[in-house]
Amino acid sequence: MAGRKPLPTKLKMLKGTAQKCRVNPNEPELAPALPEPPDFLGETAREEWLRKAPVLARMGVLTEGDDAALAAYCQAFERFVEAERKIRQSGLLIKTTGGNVIQNPLVGVANRAMEIMHKFLTEFGLTPSSRTRVAANPAGKEDAEWAGFGKA
């Protein structure tokens, strides 16, 4: 879908830009949570989950509904780490059977994994510029001043 990603209704209300015609009355709300890592994650991906999930939970942006997105990020991270390890062993350039020197195909694997990781990190607000666009209540902290705001 082209264009900007829609802002969550709560953020529109806090910014004062909410318009009834542009608000989804059935927007799902998920409470912040710290889901367990899925069984299918490899060792490196699981270690990354255990590093990132608590950070995201403290930020208040991780819910049970985000487990697949976090797992996909962790899988991309594992793929990146594995490709980088193999690149260190075989080098950035390799010789073909014909004797030509080419870029190691693993460089492409590592670069694509980095692109995927960056997209997920941005979605979760874990890059410097994306943090400025994320508004979340840290887990366990309710802003009493705004409690009940927007409720009928």
In this structure, is residue 120 part of a structural domain?
A: yes
In this structure, is residue 25 part of a structural domain?
A: no
Tens digits of per-residue pLDDT, 51-109?
A: 999 998 888 788 888 999 999 999 999 999 999 999 999 999 999 999 999 999 999 99
Count of CB atoms situated within 10 Å of the CB of 125? 19
Per the structure, how many domains does the chain have?
Answer: 1
Give the separation between CA 97 and CA 106, rounded to whole angstroms: 17
Give the separation between CA 69 and CA 75, rounded to whole angstroms: 10
| Confidence bin at 125 (pLDDT 50/70/90) | confident
* Between 146 and 130, residue with greater pLDDT: 130
In this structure, is residue 27 part of a structural domain?
A: no
Q: Which amino acid is at 59?
A: M
* Between 34 and 21, residue with greater pLDDT: 34
pLDDT at residue number 141:
56
In this structure, is residue 77 part of a structural domain?
A: yes
In this structure, is residue 56 part of a structural domain?
A: yes
In this structure, is residue 114 part of a structural domain?
A: yes
pLDDT at residue number 6:
67
16-43 average pLDDT score: 82
82 vs 89, 112, 141, CA distance in Å? Answer: 11, 13, 38
Q: Is the pLDDT of residue 121 over 80?
A: yes
| Confidence bin at 34 (pLDDT 50/70/90) | very high
| Confidence bin at 139 (pLDDT 50/70/90) | low
Element (H, E) at 48: helix 43-59
Q: Identify any residues that bridge with 94 across adjacent strands, giving them in sequence order.
A: 102
